[in-house]
Each structure stands twice: as C-alpha cells, then as structure tokens.
Amino acid sequence: MNARDVDPRLGEAAKKFLAGKHQALIGGKWVDAKSGKTFETYDPSTGGVIAQVAECDAADVDAAVAAARQAFESGPWRALPGKERTLLMWKLADLMEKHGEELAELESLNGGKPLGPMREVELKASIDVLRYTAGWATKLNGETIQGLPKNFHAYTLREPIGVVGQIIPWNSPIMMAAWKLAPALAAGCTVVLKPAEQTPLTALRLGQLILEAGFPEGVVNILPGFGPTAGAAIAAHPDIDKVAFTGSGEVGRLILQAACGNLKKVSLELGGKSPVIVFPDADLSLAVPGAARAIFNNSGQVCAAGSRLYAHAKVFDKMVEGIAGAAAKIRLGQALDAQTQMGPLVSQEQLDRVSGYVEQGRKAGAEVVTGGSRVGNTGYFMAPTVLANTDAGMSVVREEIFGPVLCAMRFDDEDLDRIAREANRTMYGLAGSVWTRDLSTAHKMVQRIRAGTVGVNVHGSLDPAMPFGGYKQSGWGREKGGEGLDLYTEVKSVIMSL
Ligand code: NAP
Ligand code: MG
C-alpha cells in the first residue's frame, strides 16, 4: 500500500511501518505465509483498509513450533541466567517506551482505541507488566523439603513448561500480548503468538522490537492469521506444551477440546458480566463516574467491564441519571482525533452483535435511558447506552455484550447475602465492585462476591502485581503477579539418597 494513502494524523514512524510488509515472525526471520496468502486489516473508525497482512495457517504453525522447539531445546534461552532474561525484557520495555507514540498510534488506528488513553493508560500498563514480570526471572525458586528420613536430601525445581502457544483477542492487543509474553519469557519458555485477525499490527511491530532487543531467534514467533486455521492449529499442535487463550467462552471450549490430543496445559481468560454494586451510603461523586468508566471505557470492549449495575433504591435514580448524563457528554469520534474519548467498536460484526443485544433487551421490556443505537454511517460507532427495567431473565443481563451497554437494576434490601446472590447470578466471575463508605459492608461484600478481582470504590486495576483471572466460566488460572508465573512453570521433585 502506498504511504500517501495512510491517515495524515499518523506520525512518520507509524506511516513507515504501515508502508512496509506485514509478514510472520518465525525463527527470527520475517517470512510470508507458506500459502502466499494475505488478508486485509481495517481502521474501524472509517472501515477503510490499512494494510495487508500474512495469513498464516497450519503449515506456518508447524514451522513456528519447530523454531520455538529448537530454541527451547537447544537454544540459549532457558540456559541463560535469570538476570539475562530480565535485562532483555527490560530492553524490550525500553524500546516500547521509545517507540511508544508509534505503537499507540498503530493500536489506535487498528483497534479504534482513543489515542489519549491508549498512550497514557494501556501502553504504560503493557510496559509495566514487562518490567514487573521481568524481575521474576531471578525469583523462580524451588524449595528444600525437610522431614524425610535423614539419609535423603529432597528439593523441588521450578522449570519452564516448554513451547507455549498464545492466542489473544482484539480488545487490548498490545496489553494482551504483554500479559502473555512477559511470564512466558521470564520463565524461560519459547512462544508462538497469534494476534486476533482484527488487530494484528501492533503484535508485528512488537516482534520487530523483540528482534531489536536481541532475543535469541525462535524464542518469540508471531503468526497473524485466523482463529479456525492458525488458532486451531496452535491449540491442537502435538508439540506445544501449553496454550494460553484470552477471548470468548465459545472459543475457549474449542481450545480445550483441541488441547485434548496431547493434553497440553491450558489457561483461559474468558468473558465477564461484572456487577457494580452501589449502597445507599456510597459517595456518588465517585460512584457515578466510576460506574460510567467501568462500562464505557474502550467502548465497553473490556472483559472486566462493569456491565450490571445494582444500585440501592435510595440511590438508583441518581446513579442512572448520573451515568446517563456522563454518557451524553462522552465525545465519540475517530480514534486518532485528539478530542475523542470513545472510539468505534472494532468491527461491523461487533456493531451488529451489540445492536442485536440492545434490540433483544428492548423487545423483552428494557427501557433505553440513553443511547441504544449506532452513531453515523461511517465506522462502527455505538452510542454509550444505559438500559433500565432489566432483570436476570433477559439476555442483556445474562450474556456478555462486549459493548458500551449498561444494565441497571435496583435493590431494596439490607441483606447482604441476598444482594450478593443477585450479583453472583451469572455464569461468569471475572470482576466486580462495591461502592460504600461502610468498611464492614465493604469487607463482607468482598467475601461474598465470587469473582477474581473485586474493587471497593474502584472498578478494576491494571497493576502488574495483581493476579487477574476468573472464577466460574470466566476462566482457568491467573495472569500477572507471581501467580502468572505458575502458568509457565512445572515443578520437579528431586530426591537424593545420601
Ligand atoms: P474469539 O473468537 O474468542 O477470539 C479470540 C481469539 O481466538 C482470536 O485470536 C481468534 O482468532 C481466536 N480463535 C477464534 N477461533 C478459534 C479457534 N477455533 N481455535 C483457536 N483460536 C481461535 O472472540 P471474537 O469472535 O473476536 O469475539 C466474540 C466475543 O468474544 C465478543 O463479543 C466478546 O463477548 C468475547 N470476547 C471476550 C474477550 C475477553 O477479553 N474476555 C476478548 C475478545 C472477545 P481470530 O481473531 O482470527 O478469529
Ligand atoms: Mg474471531
């Protein structure tokens, strides 16, 4: 594609990247897909094509797995002292920072993410995860086991799990890549990473930075392509030791089935339908903007989004009016516009899906307090939406919409068990938040909510030290924190007769 055709708001570096070839990274080299096929990737703010990308499939997965296996078994990677892996990861983080503007622009263009928050929040959080997790490379210790008869010496070792396949979604592409790559690299694993079809670009730019940082060849392989071909081949591959997936529950189930063949380890980061529970004593000057952010951030395309509001009858109207007021003020616009606070949804498919849910809600009797429809006819913009008169029988309350749609429900109850039961009435268990000034209510609710992350007067956190993952059908395992390393290590028991 011609550099002249690209968005004039992009800086020179992003333009140059777009004008280049977008190939797969296998064994330290950039290569075309073996089939020679490419696919188009889009700007969801306009629907326009921005690049052609290599369309990898099973044959490329075979090549990438062979390179990752070679790098794991015979390459220098896992034999490096932890300190050397730490330093390389820090170097990568430094390069991400150095090229931060370019990465933020590319992510904004390809994923429809407003540039300001992309630059200030997600890119920084991605860099933080690399830096934090890098430190674990020197802290992966086993234990000595005491208490055996005196003529034995026993201990454990923590070793890298091997070659890992990583399949990530489109809603936070760089951040998802960082969450996946960081613990694998710190542990000494080698990786085959597949970005989502909608958002392949920043993973490929990250691949260039990985080479520039000096990671040995084959340690990180990046294969753009489609789920049912490249993704399925990763999940089923007999020489991959572990697969880590973030995305829908539907595909999570396919991954599990595919992983059966060689019983590879599986970790899953799936969806959510997280409750935001507001008590009558809550500070509404915090709860209103907090709840609005919890659902409208990234156009609601966030697995931990606070998509079910439970507000006490005494504050329900104020909460709903306040959130609807905040929604009306949000500046929707093209992701690269400096003024934009909320960008488009990622694709026509996602716009149809979200609009379809709102329609189902309307038909089932929900009241559309604000929003409820597409904005404009160019790009995939959806108005921030609040639905009231909703109940647990409706699909809008039960299912993950993955868009800027809040379902508001009222409770008139003092019984925390009953409130928690309502909040927990979902197959998901990813996140939740409680808004109150009462410490006792806060702690009691924290104990009662069945979810992997619970906030008190805040919804969610991107801190790299905090483990993230789901109860129930929101997934298996925890990413980030020390727990994140458990997904990438095996424990070996060693016993010695003295
Ligand atoms: P998805 O299909 O689950 O996609 C996630 C990743 O899995 C992508 O890389 C995808 O590749 C890959 N994939 C798809 N089919 C596969 C297969 N058979 N084997 C292996 N990998 C496969 O998500 P989506 O279709 O883009 O979005 C659908 C819904 O999922 C959303 O509306 C949302 O509710 C949910 N979702 C949740 C999260 C989350 O963070 N929890 C993230 C994204 C989506 P392709 O991109 O090439 O299809
Ligand atoms: Mg898909």
Reported as a pLDDT band with limits 50, 70 and 90, residue 6 is confident
What are the extents of the domains in the chain?
3-270+476-494, 275-464
Q: What is the pLDDT of residues 363-378, one digit of tens each?
A: 999 999 999 999 999 9
Say what the pLDDT of residue 2 is. 45
- The pTM for the full model equals 0.98
Distance 248 CA to ligand 1 centre (A): 5
pLDDT at 35 over 80: yes
Using one digit for the tens of pLDDT, what is the confidence trace for 163-216? Answer: 999 999 999 999 999 999 999 999 999 999 999 999 999 999 999 999 999 999
- The two domains 3-270+476-494 and 275-464 share their CATH topology (first three levels equal): no
Task: Read off the pLDDT of each residue in 111-117 and give the average, rounded to a whole number.
Answer: 97
| pLDDT tens sequence across 147-161 | 999 999 999 999 999
Topology of domain 275-464 in CATH is: Aldehyde Dehydrogenase; Chain A, domain 2 (3.40.309)
Which ligand has the shortest distance to the CA of 169?
1
* Ligand (nearest to CA of 228): 1
Question: Per-residue pLDDT for 3 more than 80?
Answer: no
Atom nearest to 176 CA in ligand 1? 40
The ligand 1 atom at the shortest distance from the C-alpha of residue 226 is 47
* pLDDT of 4 strictly over 70: no
Q: Which of the four pLDDT bands, split at 50, 70 and 90, describes residue 5? A: low
Average pLDDT, the chain: 97
Percent of the chain whose pLDDT exceeds 90? 98
Ligand 1 pocket residues where CB is under 6 Å: 167-171, 194, 196-197, 226-228, 231-232, 235, 246-248, 251, 254-255, 270-271, 303, 353, 400, 402
Best CA proximity match to 156, nearest among 489, 493, 488? 493
According to the model, what pLDDT value does residue 1 have? 44
For residues 268-285, give the mean pLDDT: 98
Q: Which fold has domain 3-270+476-494?
A: Aldehyde Dehydrogenase; Chain A, domain 1 (3.40.605)
